[in-house]
């Protein structure tokens, strides 16, 4: 029964033919846009506001001392490619043995 419900939900599409699960992932920033690129304009408006409010954090340019010792993967490299790359997400196992995005 659950499999049939999942199949039915996955079959629902918006006017552009995108299923709603993929669309939600794009709007949250967890997926590339329909053109295969990632950009802040695909995010929900409230997430776009956060990016606008904290541009240095979003770009990974805040020094580790300002972040309480947390370092960015992109710190130390100053190539244009790294500075324009979208943020990357990785999954780790937490103590409850569940995956969590970091």
Question: Domain total for the chain?
Answer: 1
* Average pLDDT of span 79-96: 50
Range of the domain at 9: 2-77
**Residue 17 counted as domain residue:** yes
DSSP category for residue 67: G
pLDDT, residue 48, reads 92
pLDDT higher at 100 or 27: 27
Reported in sequence order, the residue ranges of 24-67 that DSSP labels E, i.e. its strands, are none
pLDDT, residue 45, reads 92
**Residue 97 counted as domain residue:** no
pLDDT higher at 61 or 83: 61
**Alpha carbon distance 38, 6 (integer Å):** 27
């Amino acid at each position: 029964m659950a499999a049939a419900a999942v199949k039915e939900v996955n079959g629902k599409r918006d006017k552009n033919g995108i299923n709603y699960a993929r669309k939600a992932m794009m709007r949250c920033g967890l997926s590339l846009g329909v053109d295969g690129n990632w950009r802040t304009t695909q995010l929900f408006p409230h997430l776009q506001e956060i990016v606008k409010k904290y541009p240095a954090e979003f770009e990974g340019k805040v020094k580790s001392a300002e972040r309480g010792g947390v370092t960015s993967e992109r710190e130390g490299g100053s190539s244009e490619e790294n500075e324009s790359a979208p943020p990357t997400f990785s999954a780790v196992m937490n103590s409850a043995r569940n995956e969590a995005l970091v």
